[in-house]
Amino acid sequence: MGNVALIRIDRKRHRGLVAAWLTSDHVARWWGDPEQALAQFDSTRDTEHAVIALDGAPVGYMRWARVDPDALASVGLQSIPEGSFDVDIFVGPCSQLGGGIGPAALTCLFDLLRSTTDAPLAGLCTSIDNLRAHAAFEKAGCRKFAQFQDPVYGPCYVYVRQLR
């Protein structure tokens, strides 16, 4: 694997690419409705998402935001500390899956959050059926923290990575 880095979003340059990836079967299966996910892309602050690049070429997308304590409580996750970050990630091209890009990108983000915020931890949620994500999260140093029932995706795991 080459050099993985996070690239600041250039909406004009990256929006079409992210939109195309969101319609890919392997992304839409876990991210849901592509139109809704693209609307989230459009409303995300520039400092809270990035394109994942491999040797300078875009290969994925990641976004992060401070957790909403009310939203967490609504699914029984009161034990996530306030000020933590929720992270969403995907690798776009199928040909790039399984090569370590996801864990490397997560490590880049965890390092960024550690150096620029006071967040105690970062968390990721995914379906209990998303085995590829489980492996990637664990390779990035995350541990399984909880299971909950998501109203859209059904049974999900929460993985966390301590930042402090």
For residue 79, what pLDDT is reported?
Answer: 83
Q: How would you write the chain as a 3-class SS string? A: CCCEEEEECCHHHHHHHHHHHHCCHHHHHHHCCHHHHHHHHHHCCHHHEEEEEECCEEEEEEEEEECCHHHHHHCCCCCCCCCCEEEEEEECCHHHCCCCHHHHHHHHHHHHHHHHCCCCEEEEEEECCCHHHHHHHHHCCCEEEEEEEECCCEEEEEEEEECC
For residue 70, what pLDDT is reported?
Answer: 81
For 46-94, write each residue's pLDDT tens digit: 999 999 999 999 999 999 999 988 887 777 787 888 899 999 999 998 8
Answer yes or no: pTM beyond 0.85.
Answer: yes
For residue 23, what pLDDT is reported?
Answer: 97
For residue 48, what pLDDT is reported?
Answer: 97
Q: What are phi and psi of 47, to 5 degrees?
A: -85, 5
Residues with pLDDT less than 50, the chain: none
Decide: 151 and 127 in contact? Cβ < 8 Å: no
Decide: 30 and 127 in contact? Cβ < 8 Å: yes
For residue 162, what pLDDT is reported?
Answer: 96
Question: How many residues make up the chain in this entry?
Answer: 164
For residue 74, what pLDDT is reported?
Answer: 78
For residue 150, what pLDDT is reported?
Answer: 86
Domains of the chain: 4-162 (3.40.630.30)
For residue 27, what pLDDT is reported?
Answer: 96
What does the alpha-carbon distance between residue 49 and residue 65 come to, in Å, rounded to a whole number?
Answer: 9
